[in-house]
A and B are shown apart, each in its own frame.
Chain A
Amino acid sequence: MRVLGWLLWRLVLIFALPAVLVALWWQLSADSSHFLFRPLSEIWEAFRETWDRQRLVEDVLPSLNRLARGYALSLVLGIGLGVLVGSSRTLRSLLEPVLEFLRAIPPPVLIPLIALFAGLGDARRVVIIIAGCVWPILLNTVEGVRAVDEVLADTCRSYRIRGGRRLYHLVLRSASPQIMTGARQALAIGIILMVIGELQGTQDGIGHTIEQFQTSFQYAQMWSGVILLGLLGVALSLLFRLADQWVLRWYHGLRATEKER
């Protein structure tokens, strides 16, 4: 009974503010006649009509697919290079200024350049996502790998724990809280770049669809696309939360006990 009550309370906390905001929006926009700010009721109607099965398969899925590929490759690249750079002091001092410079470049300005190398197709849009996502993962991994505890490293040496076992049980697990921090930042960047990459010269994708509605003055439909992006963002961040709880269960437990003491 107490668990049920707690669960109910949590649900109230989560949905209270969104519900109020939606209600307010609904009310305030009800008799809007502005061409851009359509009533929410009209947007809702457009949402149901626009994002049907066909659109989901032809536009939403390709977008998510590119995001997934770009994000996964960013994780592999960022963690892989991060472990290399973080493990070697020489490599670090050599590369750090360059990495900071590259990170400071906003990926959208690279779009023409990327198009030159990766063509105009699917690959280009994946590369744009990688160009933005890889940096927070890479730099956070470097930090995490640098901070591996010396006593734990000595423990591995004296018990002759080496190679892949050392890499996984010592280096990656030690760095996992920082890696997850980088991955969280990268996810937010990835969603933005997923849309930006679709804005020009593409045939499918959520960004492409939204732009089409905008240029054909279908503003209710356009807003429904924006809402869809918001909902996707929420869903992805919830998924990320679950992954984080699973990967870092030891870390959250450790932090909680440290707080108690």
Chain B
Amino acid sequence: MLEVRGLHKVYDSHGRRVEAIGELTFAVEDGQFACVVGPSGCGKTTLLRCIAGLLPATAGEVWVEGSRVTGPPPGLAVVFQEYGRSLFPWLRVRDNVELPLRAARMPRAKRRDLANWALAAVGLEDAHRAYPWQLSGGMQQRVAIARAIAYQPRVLLMDEPFAAVDAQTRADLEDLIRSVWQRLGVTLLFVTHDIDEAVYLGERVIVLSAAPTHIKEDLPIDLPAERDQLTTRGDPRFTELRAQIYSLIQKSKQASPAPSKELS
């Protein structure tokens, strides 16, 4: 269970005060796949960093699995957009996946098993001994996902993880993350600026307004659980949901012409 209560965030630096998040309150049930979309610069990354305990909130609280977040909580993993910068270039793929487990003092044999399983789950059985920079962008992001699932988090946060890969790879990774989520039963909060991606992936889409951010709409996605790039995206209901969210975001952009500077 992930709960955000009255979250408010103001950046105050060099005399310039920017209200990034106005007020956000929502909860994500155990095992739910929730997507967060919003216009660019609406503080999506800020929200995610507050939940991950990487950034203190100005007001309000975040609760993960029954404890209040004051720093990075245990049992929570983050997959960042910048895969190239979130993997250790001096560690081989396997060691990248195992490092958080070593930090958690997990015995060697168990670490091995989990890393093998996680790398197989993302289709990288053959890349254990490679360095991350020897892999393509899509494969690097798979390593980051493998590292996250080997950590066995109860809550998984993803910050526009597929924004920097090509369209074909992106579709593959979307299907991968759906299947990983279905198998693990992890609570997943997925931040994206891509409406199609949000509708395709989530059981629920939280639409944010422009900064100062509040929730514009909280939509259940009533598409079948088995999704497929061709049939799901061709589904009339998919198109309908997509259009609905699109117009919400357009409206929120016009309502408050906030500075379009991305706050991260």
A binds B: yes
Q: Decide yes or no whether B89 CB sits under 8 A from chain A.
A: yes
- Check A158 against B99 for contact (C-beta < 8 Å): no
- Check B54 against A158 for contact (C-beta < 8 Å): yes
Q: Residue on B with the closest CB to A151?
A: B85
Q: A151-B85, A169-B99 are in contact. Are A159 and B77 (CB under 8 A)?
A: yes
Q: Decide yes or no whether B229 CB sits under 8 A from chain A.
A: no
A:58-112 near B, CB below 8 Å: none
- Check A253 against B99 for contact (C-beta < 8 Å): no
Q: Residue on B with the closest CB to A261?
A: B133
- Check A159 against B131 for contact (C-beta < 8 Å): no
Query: B149: shortest Cβ distance to chain A, in Å?
Result: 13
Q: Decide yes or no whether A173 CB sits under 8 A from chain B.
A: yes
Q: In the complex the two chains form, what is the Cα distance from A173 to B90 in whole Å? A: 7
Please tell me the number of chain B residues within 8 Å of chain A, measured between CB atoms: 28
Q: In the complex the two chains form, what is the Cα distance from A159 to B49 in whole Å? A: 14
- Check B131 against A158 for contact (C-beta < 8 Å): no
Across-interface contacts of B89 in A (CB, < 8 A): 250-251, 254
Q: A152-B88, A169-B88, A250-B90 are in contact. Are A161 and B99 (CB under 8 A)?
A: yes
User: When the two chains form the complex, which single residue of A150, A154, A158 contacts B76, counting CB atoms closer than 8 Å?
Assistant: A158
A:129-162 near B, CB below 8 Å: 149-152, 154-155, 157-162
User: When the two chains form the complex, which single residue of B52, B82, B91, B133 contacts A158, counting CB atoms closer than 8 Å?
Assistant: B52
Q: A158-B54, A159-B77, A253-B134 are in contact. Are A151 and B86 (CB under 8 A)?
A: yes
Q: Decide yes or no whether B119 CB sits under 8 A from chain A.
A: no
Q: Decide yes or no whether A33 CB sits under 8 A from chain B.
A: no
- Check A155 against B80 for contact (C-beta < 8 Å): yes
Q: Residue on A with the closest CB to B91?
A: A169
Residue of B71, B74, B82 most packed against chain A (CB within 10 A): B82
Q: In the complex the two chains form, what is the Cα distance from A257 to B151 in whole Å? A: 29
- Check A161 against B103 for contact (C-beta < 8 Å): yes
Q: Decide yes or no whether A34 CB sits under 8 A from chain B.
A: no
Q: Decide yes or no whether A165 CB sits under 8 A from chain B.
A: yes
- Check A157 against B72 for contact (C-beta < 8 Å): yes
- Check B72 against A160 for contact (C-beta < 8 Å): yes
Residue of A154, A155, A161, A257 most packed against chain B (CB within 10 A): A155
User: When the two chains form the complex, which single residue of A159, A170, A251 contacts B100, counting CB atoms closer than 8 Å?
Assistant: A159
- Check A158 against B103 for contact (C-beta < 8 Å): no
Q: Decide yes or no whether B102 CB sits under 8 A from chain A.
A: yes
Query: B90: shortest Cβ distance to chain A, in Å?
Result: 4
Across-interface contacts of B22 in A (CB, < 8 A): none
Contact with A along B96-112 (1 / 0, CB 8 A): 00011011100000000
Query: A250: shortest Cβ distance to chain B, in Å?
Result: 4
Q: In the complex the two chains form, what is the Cα distance from A155 to B85 in whole Å? A: 9
Q: Residue on B with the closest CB to A174?
A: B90
Across-interface contacts of B6 in A (CB, < 8 A): none
Q: A173-B90, A253-B133, A254-B133 are in contact. Are A161 and B100 (CB under 8 A)?
A: yes
- Check A154 against B80 for contact (C-beta < 8 Å): yes
8 interchain pairs, CB-CB under 8 A: A151-B86, A159-B147, A160-B103, A169-B88, A173-B90, A176-B90, A253-B134, A254-B131
Known: A154-B49, A176-B90, A258-B133. 4 other contacts (CB 8 A): A157-B72, A158-B77, A161-B103, A253-B133
